[in-house]
């Protein structure tokens, strides 16, 4: 067990910040179970706002009391063993989803991408097929500009439902945002929803594209073991998975953290992996690839928490 650093914020200040919040509040909650890799220490406080207004209360309370606030999606992140000080917020109750005129779907940040895909299929709307097999949320997908080789969030995003760090809700038009590979440049604040421009299509076409792609992913990625998606971004014109495999690193293990033998750009948790083991493995892989190919791989995951 890793010693938990003393929080910079007293419980009374944290309580004060969350006084008006209606959602569930958990103190010193271990975050590992809230992540797909199942790794990471605790949060001073973990809060689940019941709706967008409640999320705004959290944002304003944190701001007013000078407390750091992290929104945890949970699928493309590694949380360090010492956990996260301040307030961690999960938007899993922001699950509203609706079809607007003109083949636009609005989904709140906590909607899981598979759920959004199901919804789109039920309305015969195409455009989200690229997301097949991505377990993350709409909010995470927007922030990360989630994508696969079939497409990415940027391709369908019409606007972002956004709350600034001052707690002001705004609609950010996509035309005013910039997108990078696995990163959307956003102002400081949180994503609470997104409008996606889809297009009408036949159910069979949508279903078969999704099915083929899911099959491809199931065949090439270790989707049945705890993982946090691709570890590294692909270097331009190459593939991180290929480089790691050719460096002979498939199956390399530190503690319970293992470079997947199915896809080398995945690290899987074989049971009780710690963040320290995972990070050591990440460094080892990066060093070996750099030595063999002279290419420095860049992490795709977000790493959160105390060093
Ligand atoms: N490859 C190897 N060895 C491996 C893995 C892959 O040689 O162990 C080779 C494959 O043979 C192929 C090439 O690398 O020629 C590309 O592999 P793959 O098709 O699996 O795609 P990827 O580039 O590794 C990207 C995304 C994935 C997404 C897949 C499929 C990145 C970093 N990753 O992987 O996204 O699922 O395409 O569309 O862009 C994620 O971002 O979390 C994620 C899972």
- The whole-angstrom separation of Cα 36 and Cα 72 is 11
| Contact residues of ligand 1, CB 6 A cut-off | 148-149, 217, 220, 229-230, 233-234, 239-242, 245, 263-265, 300
CA of 249 relative to ligand 1 center, distance in Å: 16
* Tokens of residue 286, six digits: 């990066």
Residue nearest to atom 32 of ligand 1 (CA): 233
Q: What is the pLDDT of residue 6?
A: 63
Which ligand 1 atom minimizes the distance to the CA of 130? 38
pLDDT reported for residue 3 = 64
Query: How far are the Cα atoms of 136, 144, 297 from residue 140, in angstroms, in the given order?
Result: 6, 6, 22
Instruction: Give catalytic residues, as residue numbers.
Output: 182, 230, 300
Q: How confident is the chain (307 residues) per 10-residue block, as mean pLDDT?
A: 68 96 98 98 98 98 97 96 98 98 98 97 97 94 93 98 98 96 96 98 94 91 96 96 98 98 98 98 98 97 96
Separation between Cα atoms, residue 148 and residue 87, nearest integer Å: 31
Q: Which long-range contacts does 237-242 make (Cβ < 8 Å, 24+ apart)?
A: 238/295, 239/265, 240/264, 240/265, 240/289, 240/297, 241/265
Query: What global pTM score does this model have?
Result: 0.95
Distance 241 CA to ligand 1 centre (A): 6
DSSP run (H or E) holding 108: strand 104-108
**Which residue's alpha carbon is nearest to atom 15 within ligand 1?**
242
| 259 CA to centre of ligand 1 in angstroms | 14
Hey, which residues does 45 pair with through a beta bridge? 27, 87
């Amino acid at each position: 067990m890793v010693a938990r650093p003393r929080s910079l914020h007293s419980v009374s200040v944290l309580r004060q910040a969350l006084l008006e919040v209606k959602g569930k509040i958990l103190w010193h909650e271990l975050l590992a179970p809230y992540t797909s890799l199942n790794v990471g220490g605790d949060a001073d406080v973990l809060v689940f706002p019941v709706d967008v207004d409640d999320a705004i209360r959290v944002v304003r309370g944190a701001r007013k009391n000078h407390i750091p606030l992290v929104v945890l999606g949970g699928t493309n992140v590694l949380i360090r063993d010492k956990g996260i000080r301040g307030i961690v917020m999960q938007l899993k109750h922001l699950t509203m989803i609706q079809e607007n005129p003109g083949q636009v779907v609005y989904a709140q940040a906590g909607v899981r991408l598979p759920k959004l895909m199901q919804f789109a299929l039920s309305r015969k709307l195409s455009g989200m097929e690229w997301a097949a097999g991505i377990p993350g949320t709409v909010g995470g997908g927007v922030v990360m500009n989630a994508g696969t080789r079939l497409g990415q969030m940027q391709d369908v995003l019409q606007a972002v439902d956004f709350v600034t760090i001052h707690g002001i809700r705004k609609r950010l038009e996509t035309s005013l945002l910039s997108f990078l590979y696995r990163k959307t440049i956003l102002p400081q604040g949180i994503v609470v929803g997104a409008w996606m421009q889809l297009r009408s299509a036949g159910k069979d076409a949508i279903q078969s594209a999704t099915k083929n792609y899911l099959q491809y992913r199931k065949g090439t990625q270790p989707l049945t073991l705890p993982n946090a998606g691709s570890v590294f971004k692909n270097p331009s014109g190459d593939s991180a998975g290929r480089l790691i495999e050719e460096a002979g690193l498939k199956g390399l293990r530190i503690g319970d953290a293992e470079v997947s033998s199915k896809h080398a750009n995945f690290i899987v948790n074989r049971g009780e992996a710690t963040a320290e083991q995972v990070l050591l493995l990440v460094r080892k892989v990066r060093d070996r690839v750099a030595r063999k190919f002279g290419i420095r791989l860049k992490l795709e995951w977000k790493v959160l928490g105390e060093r």
